[in-house]
Chain A
Amino acid sequence: MMNKKLTSIVAAIAVVLSGPMVRAEDMASYSLTDAQISQVRTRCVEVQATLTRIRANDGLRRVNLGQQYETIATRLMAPMNSRVALNKFDGVELTKATVAFNAQLDVFRERYRLYEQDITHVIDMHCQDQPVSFYDAVLKARTERAAVRESVDQLNALLAEYNVRFEDLAKSALDKKGSEQ
């Protein structure tokens, strides 16, 4: 008796918690009209072809951007931070920017992995049999792609921040050299 009550309370809480999320995610497809669903069914194969091209281009961007970011982090930032420390300058801000950049690089990799899984799922779907699920899956992939874009923006902002910190340090290093001479 007690167990039944407990189960029903847990179930009620789960329904209350999951309800808004499910509604928010599916809201777009719920508001598709019958005519639009029919159009999605008719055009989805072409959409999948377009998405295949987008995925290929995104894969290329991921590889090229990843190389650029990796090179900057491991071959420029890390050696510069070491050199700053060896020369006994205050490199805390540079190190902080590097740590933030590396953390965001991990986020970028993970977000891209999720996006790639989602878009591959969309491309492999039997879309003509399930146009609404197809549309929902496209929305999900679009959201994941926007998250990747956000990550790229943040990485670019961190690159700019590191540059600013470097210029501050360069100024103080040159000032110090000048005052010593």
Chain B
Amino acid sequence: MTTHDIQEDVRELTHWESHRFFGLVVCVIVIAIFLVSVALSLYQSSGAAQLDLSRPGYSDVRKEAAQGESTVSYPANGTLDERSLADFRKLYGDRMNRATATRSFDPAAMSDDSLQMYDKLDSAADPQAAATQ
């Protein structure tokens, strides 16, 4: 194959063939953007985002998240005698008390008074009272 032949081949290359590396890079980027979009939408819609304390704004409370809480379990097999019932009563009671001990999502925390949105001059000017009437 002479140099002339090679030059002829190069001339015959189509526009796409001469830019295929660039095309490949663009395709890879498009596919990556698509897959990241799918992943992010699943992250949002599945509720995983709400459990993710590594997001910005949650750094103060991250360390307070309970660690190693899920080790407790009750065997599904076995008899139902006094001892096994007492074991369950203890495990369940502990967990129930822990779950119900704190008053979570107290409405008072987000009231107009707590947020100090505006000064209440009198009850008639209170928009919340007006809305409920």
Contact = CB atoms under 8 A, between A and B. Distances in A.
Contacts of A109: 47, 50
10 contacts: A24-B131, A31-B125, A56-B61, A66-B51, A68-B66, A71-B69, A75-B70, A76-B72, A80-B88, A83-B84
A138 B112 CA distance: 9
A149 B65 contact: no
Interface residues of A, number: 74
A1 interface: no
B80 A173 contact: yes
Contact of A47 (B93, B100, B106, B116): B116
Interface of A: 24, 27-29, 31-33, 35-36, 39-40, 43-44, 46-47, 50-52, 54-72, 75-76, 78-80, 82-84, 86-87, 89, 109-110, 112-113, 116, 135, 138-139, 141-142, 145-146, 148-149, 152, 155-156, 159-160, 162-163, 166, 170, 173-174, 177
Interface string B35-78: 00000000000010111010001101100111001101111111
A41 B75 CA distance: 58
A173 B85 contact: yes
A29 B127 contact: yes
Contacts of B8: none
Contact of A87 (B73, B80, B119, B127): B80
Interface in B102-127: 102, 104-107, 109-111, 114-119, 121, 125, 127
Contacts of B117: 36, 39-40, 43-44, 47, 135, 138
A31 B120 CA distance: 13
B91 interface: yes
Interface of B: 47, 49-51, 53, 57-58, 60-61, 64-66, 69-70, 72-82, 84-85, 88-89, 91-93, 95-96, 98-100, 102, 104-107, 109-111, 114-119, 121, 125, 127-128, 130-131
B45 to A, nearest CB: 8
B99 A156 contact: yes
Contacts of A40: 117-118
Given A68-B66, A72-B95, 9 more contacts: A54-B109, A56-B60, A67-B70, A69-B99, A83-B76, A113-B47, A152-B104, A156-B99, A166-B89
A55 B50 contact: no
Contacts of B106: 149
Contacts of B125: 31, 33, 36
